[in-house]
Amino acid sequence: MLKKLGDYVLLMFQVFRKPDNALIFRKRMLHEFYNLGYTSIGIVAILSVFVGAVATILVAYNTDNPLLPEKLIGFSARQMIILEFSPTMISLILAGKLGSQIASELGTMRVTQQIDALKVMGVNPANYLIFPKILSCLLFIPVLIIFSIVIGILGGWLACVFTGVITPSNYVVGLRAWFEPFSITFAMIKTVVFSFLITSISSFIGYNVEGGSVEVGKASTQAVVVGSIAIIVFDLILTQMLLT
Amino acid sequence: MIKLENISKQFGEHLVLDDVSATFERGKTNLIIGQSGSGKTVLMKICTGLYEPDKGIVTFDERQFSNTKEKNKINIRKEMGVLFQGGALFDSMSVEQNVMFPLDMFTNMTYEEKLERVNFCLNRVNLSGINNLRTSELSGGMMKRVAIARAISNSPKYLFCDEPNSGLDPQTSELIDDLISEITHEFNMTTIINTHDINSVLKIGQTISFINKGKLWWSGDNRSVLESDNKELNTFLFSTELTKRVKTN
């Protein structure tokens, strides 16, 4: 375990270096924006709208008391979406999608000697392959999470319109009640940390695959499992550190 | 010239290479031969810097390559071309992008200059006009030839070929051998070829190093290999009825 941690840190030292060629690095960044970020918009939108709606209905169901103001439902749904659902749950989904994608891509490159080919050409393979992935995710996933927050809140509003759990106007009043801008900062801090964990862990696992196709498959699964556990652990740590 | 001095390499308890010394000359096709598991691939990986030797030194034209700083190694690596056993072409790129890759990374050439060089290299391996094909659309022989084109695109001083004929039919194998030999002489490169193909040994083996049980067992050329009375070498190379006849004739 400690050896793996040491290897992970050493790999990150290889990753965070000045790229060999700035123009190639920019091209790879754009490729990764599309490959890892843009292609995730669909799944994020679908999940966010449905979970936003479900969150609103669940809050309404659990606060079915005439003494509680209806705007509490909008307020609670907003807080759930901003503080936990969008940054954590969407990151977990992305750990599955991006983690397996990155680990299997790098693992296949390793077992087919493409990484060795880069190394013997004089290219730093870790920097060339992993740095653009990490940087593009650090920049794009926060955008996805903001998008998820907006779509999730919209999903809650749609639930109000179509199920009538509360009136849409009361939901909007709730959304605007007791708003703390720090909650957005908190969500973004979590997102950036989770983005780094997703990409760096899956890159580390994929980069160090030894064997053949079976090992690439195992690495892909391992990347999702380890990435997800890391997200949950850091979620607890960050919540404790930043909200108490 | 590439010089190996007293190279040893161990994996766990298993000594793979034991005090191997050899010299690979410029402008010649230098072959490393040996049975599977004899240590020749490890030796090739030590030459290309993918493994560090436990003992011994690798020098490229008097410049130390093994056990030295990564910065020094990178300068030598930029002078290397490597043909991997499976080709190791980048499957996310087209043929043109693969061959252009070393030029993109390490030169300031314009796109037109790079394209001219790519077309020259593809033409040199008899593969003109396939620039836009994906690597998945290539046959085994074409992949090897594209890999050779990529290996020579940046005009390397040193060319390493790891089992260039593996998985190819005899005709394509001969074509690849001829190509490597021609390129070596044309560009005056130091070429090291890792093989266990007797046709390659007899045809292009200007210097031959036979690795057996992790040691340099025999060295010579494609003429002396036929006259050698080294028992292990003869057992390895002339084990079939057909090859025995080659030896006796």
Per the CB < 8 Å rule, is B88 touching A21?
A: no
Q: Chain A partners of B80 at a C-beta cutoff of 8 Å?
A: 120-122
Give burial (CB, 10 Å; 0-12/13-18/19+) of B203. Answer: middle
Same domain, B123 and B237: no
Report the pLDDT value the prediction gives residue B70, as an integer from 0 to 100. Answer: 80
Question: What's the pLDDT tens digit per position in B197-213?
Answer: 888 888 888 899 998 88
pLDDT of A172 reads 92
Q: Do B31 and B11 belong together in one domain?
A: yes
Same domain, B7 and B103: no
pLDDT tens for the 244 residues of chain A, in order: 889 999 999 999 999 999 988 999 999 999 999 989 899 999 999 999 999 999 999 998 888 778 888 888 999 999 999 999 999 999 999 999 999 999 999 999 999 999 999 998 889 999 999 999 999 999 999 999 999 999 999 999 999 999 888 899 999 999 998 888 999 999 999 999 999 999 999 999 999 999 888 999 999 999 999 999 999 999 999 999 988 7
**What is the domain count for chain B?**
2
Question: Distance between CA B19 and CA B4 in Å, rounded?
Answer: 10
Indicate if B61 and B109 belong to the same structural domain. Answer: no
Range of the domain at B97: 91-155
Residues B139 and B162 occupy one common structural domain = no
Residue B46 within a domain: yes
**In this structure, what are the phi and psi dihedrals at residue B13, rounded to the nearest 5 degrees?**
-90, -10
Asked if residue B95 has pLDDT above 90, the reply is yes
pLDDT range class, residue B248, cuts 50, 70, 90: low
Kindly state whether residues B167 and B147 are assigned to the same domain.
no
Top pLDDT among A1 and B133 is at: B133
Domain spans in chain A, listed from the N-terminal domain onward: 23-243
Q: Domain end: B125, B155, B185, which one?
A: B155
For residue B1, give both structure tokens.
Answer: 């010239």
* CB contact A120 to B (< 8 Å): yes
Q: Is residue B205 domain-shared with residue B95, that is, in the same domain? A: no
- Dihedral pair phi/psi, residue B225, rounded to 5°: -65, -30
Domain end call among B123, B155, B187: B155
Q: Is residue B84 part of a domain?
A: no
Q: CATH number of the domain that B48 lies in? A: 3.40.50.300
Model confidence, pTM: 0.86
For testing the chain A interface, which of B84, B108, B136, B150 should be mutated: the one with the most A CBs within 10 Å? B84
Q: Which residues of A touch B101 (CB under 8 A)?
A: 121
Whether residue B145 is found in the same domain as residue B67: no
**CA-to-CA distance for A3 and A7, rounded, in angstroms?**
6
Q: Residues in chain B whose beta carbon is closer than 8 A to a beta carbon of chain A?
A: 48-50, 74-75, 77-78, 80, 82, 84-86, 88-91, 101-102, 104-106, 160
Those residues with Cβ within 8 angstroms of residue B164's Cβ, 6 or more apart along the chain or in another chain? B83, B144, B148, B176, B177, B180, B193, B195, B200
